[in-house]
């Protein structure tokens, strides 16, 4: 199978915005619907969001999803059903939500906005599980850290020094990955990715990359 690649440029993303909330969409979401922005395999939603002080946003899940929340700055409260928890920068939250469940995300701070990534992964096999928050540590640089691993999704993050090379191999059976630059810039599989650009690769089992700026951070999802 031939490698398929698609770049999602930061400035070409969809955007939903109010006075209290802004969300950039890499894929179709809400009223943002384009023919070439369909879900990438099981990765149905990938949003880059900002909440103003004390603001909340509520989503009704349209399918059974495993939802990733990754605060980039600050932290957020989240609740789905009877579960309510807090997740902050340096942690990820993994939330199981059934079709029709209501997910509410809140900025608990009275001053200062918060930024976070929200990714929704379709769950082909469902089992009830409460939300979990998992810490990670980027003080060990120039290596990829696994954030989460299940049969449906594997997530990795790494912080790299400028001009450091790296390589990534998918887990056995995985041939589809989505890379997203949280900070800095990378060359990933011979493609230039700048701040908040994404890259979807199909039919791939390994990829080389190079950090092009000091302190560059990349998120990789195997879906």
pLDDT tens, residue by residue, 70-96? 999 999 999 987 668 999 999 999 999
What CATH number was assigned to the domain covering residues 14-134?
2.60.120.10
Question: Alpha-carbon torsion 163, 222, 143, 137, what sign?
Answer: positive
Using CA atoms, how far residue 2 sits from 175, 201, 205, in Å, is 11, 10, 12
Q: Kindly give, in sequence order, each residue whose CB lies less than 8 Å from that of residue 200, ignoring residues fewer than 6 positions away.
A: 5, 6, 8, 40, 176, 177, 178
Backbone phi, psi, residue 215, to 5°: 75, 20
- CATH class, 136-222 region: mainly beta
- Predicted local distance difference test score (pLDDT) of residue 3: 73
pLDDT at 184: 98
Domain boundaries, the chain: 14-134, 136-222
Q: Which residues of the chain have pLDDT under 70?
A: 1-2, 82-83, 124-126, 128, 173-174
12 three-class SS: helix
Kindly calculate the radius of gyration of the chain based on its CA atoms and give it in whole angstroms.
17
Predicted local distance difference test score (pLDDT) of residue 173: 64
Which element (helix H / strand E) includes 59? strand 56-60
pLDDT at residue number 203: 87
Residue 166 per-residue DSSP state: E
Fold agreement between 14-134 and 136-222: yes
Arithmetic mean of pLDDT over the chain: 93
pLDDT at 131: 86
Q: Which helix (H) or strand (E) holds 108?
A: none
30-58 per-position pLDDT tens digit: 999 999 999 999 999 999 999 999 999 99
Query: How far does Cα 115 stand from its chain's mean position?
Result: 12
> Can you give the pLDDT at residue 1?
54
Per-residue pLDDT at 126: 61
Look at residue 209 in the predicted model and tell me its pLDDT. Answer: 97
In whole angstroms, how far apart are CA 113 and each of 88, 100, 188? 13, 28, 31
pLDDT more than 70, % of the chain: 95
Residue appearing with tokens 């092009």: 212
């Amino acid at each position: 199978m031939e490698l398929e690649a698609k770049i999602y440029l930061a400035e070409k993303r969809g955007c939903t915005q109010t006075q209290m909330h802004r969300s950039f969409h890499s894929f179709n979401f809400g009223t943002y619907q384009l023919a070439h922005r369909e879900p990438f395999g099981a990765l149905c939603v990938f949003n880059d969001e900002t909440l103003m002080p004390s603001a909340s946003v509520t989503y009704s899940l349209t399918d059974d999803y495993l939802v990733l929340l990754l605060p980039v700055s600050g932290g957020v409260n989240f609740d789905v059903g009877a579960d309510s928890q807090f997740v902050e920068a340096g942690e990820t939250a993994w939330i199981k939500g059934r079709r029709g469940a209501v997910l509410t995300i809140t900025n608990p701070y009275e001053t200062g906005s918060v930024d976070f990534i929200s990714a929704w992964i379709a769950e082909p096999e469902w089992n009830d599980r409460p939300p979990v928050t998992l810490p990670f540590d980027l003080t060990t640089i120039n290596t990829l850290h696994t954030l989460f691993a299940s049969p449906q999704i594997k997530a990795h993050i790494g912080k790299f020094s400028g001009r450091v090379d790296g390589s990534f191999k998918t887990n056995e059976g995985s041939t589809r990955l989505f890379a997203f630059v949280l900070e800095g810039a990378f060359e990933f599989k011979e493609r230039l990715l700048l701040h908040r650009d994404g890259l979807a690769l199909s039919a791939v089992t390994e990829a080389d990359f190079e950090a092009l700026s000091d302190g560059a951070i990349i998120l990789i999802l195997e879906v």
